[in-house]
Structure formats: structure tokens, C-alpha cells
Amino acid sequence: DTGVSQNPRHKITKRGQNVTFRCDPISEHNRLYWYRQTLGQGPEFLTYFQNEAQLEKSRLLSDRFSAERPKGSFSTLEIQRTEQGDSAMYLCASSAAGTGGYGYTFGSGTRLTVV
Amino acid sequence: AQSVTQLDSHVSVSEGTPVLLRCNYSSSYSPSLFWYVQHPNKGLQLLLKYTSAATLVKGINGFEAEFKKSETSFHLTKPSAHMSDAAEYFCVVSGSGGGADGLTFGKGTHLIIQP
């Protein structure tokens, strides 16, 4: 297992376009999290899944954002009608239920630039 | 709600001198606290964790942190800085960042190591 994998590493898109990111968690981890990190800030929680169920969404996750984890394995995060304010690093993390906050493994992130 | 405040946005030290990165927390109950490090173009890596077993916590790469309830602090220290320690450091609390075991990050401290 090579850890949490995120693709693409970088994405440049024009304002108004849709983008989709993918996260492949550690295979035995049943929890998957999405965070967003803007320049000069710490990561902020967006949403999380336990298996295929999306159990919580942050108020940061506007209706232009949608996340899925269809088979409880990989996850996708889609942003529709991108805006310049969406420019950020999108981080994925996975953990096993019951490990607490110390069970996280983070991916390297997808850096989105909206021009 | 729980939160963390990192008191310095940037810290600069000379190689071989001690490092001190300051973090205060706010919590209505005994928190789980962490320090993460983020090197450029790499994923977040857990340095150490406090989960009430011991107030002095030792982590990787010679870092340690002391939980002081009376001061609501969880400062990160290292006796002797190395050039490879240059990175962004995040103080993190678990439990209120969304989702089971969700993480709430501080804004980060950028550690600069002078040769």
C-alpha cells in the first residue's frame, strides 16, 4: 500500500468550468475526509465518508461542490462552475474508525488554480 | 467548540539552536492535540499526539511537546534545529473539525532555518 493517492496533483481551469478530483485511500481505511487549504491557512474540513455514506458536510461545501464514494473505496470531489475563490489545495485523508485523530493519513493534495 | 491558536506565523532560528513553536488551545473538555508538519509538495505528516496518557509527548525527528492544562498550551520544541526541519507546522485539535475524529487546524507556523 502506497498511502493516500490524489490525482491530479495540479489543475488549472478557467472560471466557470467544472473540475473533478480523485482520492484513493489506504485500502483498509473505512473513513475518508476532504479538506481545503487556502494560502496561508491551515486545512479546513469539507466532508467525510464512512464507507460509502457521506456522514457530514461543512458549511464551506456550497451546492457547487459534490463528493462521492460510490463503492466505499476511492472518492471524487467535483466542483461545478468554478470561481476564483475555489483556488486552493484540496487534501484527502483516510483513517480507520476508532483510531481517533491520530489515525489519519493525508495525501499530497490537488492544487487547483482558477484563472 | 474546540480551537487552536498558533501564536507565531513565522519563526526563524539558526541551525543547531533550539526551536519553539507556540500553540494555545481552547476546549471545554480534555482535548486530543497534535502537531503536523507539511513540507513543500508533500502531504501532511503527524509529528506527535497528545491523548492524555502523558503530558510530555515525544514525536519523530527529535520533536516533543508539553501539554500544560493550566496554561492551555501545547508548545512544540526541538533542542537543535536542522536544515531539514524547515517547513510549515500545524497545531491541531481533534473532535470539532467535522466528522467523527475531525481535525481543526491552526493557521500554521512557517519555520525558517538559517544556516
pLDDT at residue A67, as a whole number = 97
- Taking a C-beta distance cutoff of 8 angstroms, is the pair A67, A56 a contact? no
- 8 Å CB contact of B92 and A33: no
| Residue carrying the nine cell digits 509529528 | B47
**Structure confidence at residue B52 (pLDDT):** 75
Model pLDDT, residue B43: 82
Per-residue pLDDT at B98: 58
CA atoms within 13 A on the CB side of A86: 27
In angstroms, the CA A31 to CA A39 distance is 26
Determine the average pLDDT of the residues in A53-65: 91
CA neighbor of A80 nearest in space, from A15, A10, A7, A9? A15
Nearest alpha-carbon partner for A75 in A30, A22, A28, A9 = A22
Q: Is the dihedral of CA B50, B55, B59, B62 positive or negative?
A: positive
pLDDT beneath 70, residues of chain B: 95-101
Question: Quick check: A53 pLDDT over 70?
Answer: yes
In A, minimum Cα distance to B91 occurs at: A42
Are B90 and B105 within 8 A, CB to CB?
Answer: yes
Confidence bin at A96 (pLDDT 50/70/90): confident
For residue A102, list chain B residues with Cβ-Cβ distance below 8 A. 32, 34, 46, 49, 51, 94
pLDDT in the model for residue A60: 85
Residue A88 has pLDDT above 60, yes or no: yes
Given a cut of 80, whether residue A101 has pLDDT beyond it is no
Of A55, A101, A108, the CB nearest to B43: A108
pLDDT score of A74 more than 80 = yes
Mean pLDDT estimate for chain A:
92
Q: Give phi and psi for A20, each to the nearest 5.
A: -135, 135
Instruction: Mark yes or no for CB contact A100/B101 under 8 Å.
Output: yes
- Classified as helix, coil or strand, A3 is coil
